[in-house]
Structure 1
């Protein structure tokens, strides 16, 4: 996580409270903890090393990155046997000795890489864009390489996304808070931690970024992005009411700022629907998705992951509704069959969204079979399994 706590007693300091070591910038709540850390915590031996690395925040980012790369390579080890990096063409990285990863939608022998190669490629692309004074649209396209595969153009997920989040943060952590890349890197770190299921650490990053952006007075759309990311992590931690209220604020904020046919408004509608579903407010979620799916299909395309997720969630609202008719249930099954085929073709069978669709399809078919058999017992059993 970002260093917002005292290194000794873990008192929360935010981004501005407490004091720092004059040499390496390690943070403390006060002089007593700083002295204790020097005398008893081993800081006397680490201080010069941390300073040499660029300070406490940089040192922490480097350390976490190394740990995340090892975890990602181990998680992908079975899938990457006998393969080579499509960037450096080596199986074992010549310098870091790290193994390969692949958590995107590439097929066959494509898409295998080292996290450090992916990070270096993204760093160079973005640096070239800055040097050539490219506009925001072009810079954003280059920035996408921090989280999106350059071959299949699908997002990384799981521990690979987590490792790239740390790679991104360690690259730009030394930039000023007001620098565009610093803010994007903090967002990328939070997203990576979330995708790697490190939700408590992700929460710390999200809350720190929200506080920082409020203090800096960033544009409203940036605030909505940050609030949406925080709501995502709150939901993952089971804080559903908080997440839903924040999702409502974000959705209506985008409607007011961008209109109902903007890509970010569509994404916010999907997220609000998920939050409503989590609180069993199925009718509200279904109505919102029914209204937004045609817009998503027109603006984003039928193969877009947001459109596919919306259709999957809409089908869920149908087959989990006790009042759904047989025709409704058949619609849910047909919708899931169609979206599962598209997801398998576009994202691959191992992608989390494809896996979720397969589960939903099995459940929807079970509910439909029970209803068609007109067996209340079978129907209750099918619904209970959901």
Structure 2
């Protein structure tokens, strides 16, 4: 259940408090708000409509999805002028009348699509996997279409990822809590909201996801994944102490569970060091990144997004440290220059990572220029 507030007064109800409308399951903090909503809030006019849509949770997801598609199409309008969907071949969707989107690494005339077409393709692929009792890697390869472009094989970002997150959640929210696909859909929604910088909304989803996983006895692997997503969101909303404490435990858990070469361990290391840098604990961040960046480059390759983020984080820790030597600043500039060039080539100029690394590179070059102009001695 993602709806965690009273529909009238917005009191936080968590996952279990309050009461629900007996017909449509809309949530309230108590009978007073329920009566008020019926008499003055217009609930009497839409209660049957909500029930017909599948209940309050489904109705809310449908509404949020429609809003997110509109936002995504508007954000991509300039980039998609004169193009057609590579799935349905139309400029405007024949049924929903929505416009095109593209927020991945595709360039030129590639990668334009409707969110509805992308969602329908992902739904069909996963349904085929269920019907044929596929498992493991085969299922994963189909599931990633909910968040990764099939052409450039890079994850969608921004408001397009958010729209696909709502599409995924509205498709599977009716599944029982014990089914893995429901958990996976909630995770995609949380990540999509985070990608669109809807951090407060993402936090609500991710806290519900973690609570559900613990309640149904999910594996340590999946619980750590949910904790990782939530910790990143805590950091994004400014609760750095909560984030760093959680990320320390996640990294330790990943090391024990999967070892240092596992991609999830590297992601945990990246998240942990990011929070360390944000708290200006530069020496701890640099020490961990000096151990883990070479592993990421060996295991994932220099072009992988996680490797790029880790190298950017290392450069930030180098340059941000008030005790940085001239050699540290030079190393930061070299690292950021390489990272930015690779990110632009692999991920595309519109990827959010470029919006981070390019300003950092400019600032590092400025600092280097000032330090060199002062004639600072080598290594001092």
Q: Structure 2-normalised TM-score? A: 0.96
Counterparts in 2 of 1:213-252, with a 5 A limit?
Answer: 213-252=213-252
Contact preservation (8 Å) 2:280, 2:321? no
What is residue 127 of structure 2 aligned with on the other side? 127
Tell me which residue corresponds to 2:210: 210
Which secondary structure state, in structure 1, belongs to the residue aligned with residue 321 of structure 2?
Answer: coil
Following superposition, the deviation at residue 331 of structure 1 comes to 1.9
Residues of 1 paired with 2:212 and 2:13: CA distance? Answer: 13
Q: Which residue matches 1:307?
A: 307
Higher mean C-alpha displacement, 324-333 vs 221-230: 324-333
| Corresponding residue for residue 163 of structure 2 | 163
Shift in Å, 1:9: 2.4
- Give the conservation status (yes or no) of the 8 Å contact 2:311–2:339: yes
- Per the alignment, in what secondary structure is the counterpart of residue 194 of structure 1? helix
For 1:184, the equivalent position in structure 2 comes to 184
Does structure 2 conserve the Cα–Cα contact (< 8 Å) formed by 1:318 and 1:329?
A: yes
State the match for 1:143 in structure 2. Answer: 143
Cα pair 1:15 1:212 within 8 Å, conserved: no
The aligned counterpart of 1:74 is: 74
1:29–1:321 Cα change, 3 Å: closer
Partner of 2:62: 62
Task: List alignment gaps of at least 5 residues for structure 2.
Answer: none
1:90 maps to 90
- The aligned length equals 376
Superposition misfits of 4+ residues, deviation over 4 angstroms = none
Q: Is the contact between residue 168 and residue 189 of structure 1 (CA under 8 Å) also seen in structure 2?
A: yes
Is the 2:148–2:156 Cα contact (8 Å) retained in structure 1? yes
For residue 114 of structure 1, what is the aligned residue in structure 2?
Answer: 114
- Equivalent-residue separation in structure 1 for 2:254 and 2:185 (angstroms): 23
> Matches of 1:21 and 1:328 in 2, distance apart?
61
State the superposition RMSD in angstroms: 1.4
Determine the structure 2 residue equivalent to 1:13. 13
Separation in structure 1 between the aligned mates of residue 113 and residue 102 of structure 2, nearest angstrom: 7
User: How many angstroms apart in 1 are the aligned matches of 2:17 and 2:136?
Assistant: 34
Q: CA deviation at 1:352?
A: 1.2
- Deviation digits for residues 367-386 of structure 1 (CA, Å, limit 9, x no counterpart): 1111111168xxxxxxxxxx
Give the whole-Å Cα distance in 2 for the aligned partners of 1:14 and 1:326: 51
Using the alignment, how far apart are the partners of 2:243 and 2:324 within structure 1?
28
Could you report, residue by residue, the CA deviation over 1:60-88 in whole angstroms, capped at 9, with x for unpaired residues?
00000000000011111111111111111
User: In structure 1, what is the equivalent of residue 195 of structure 2?
Assistant: 195
Give how far 1:59 is off.
0.3
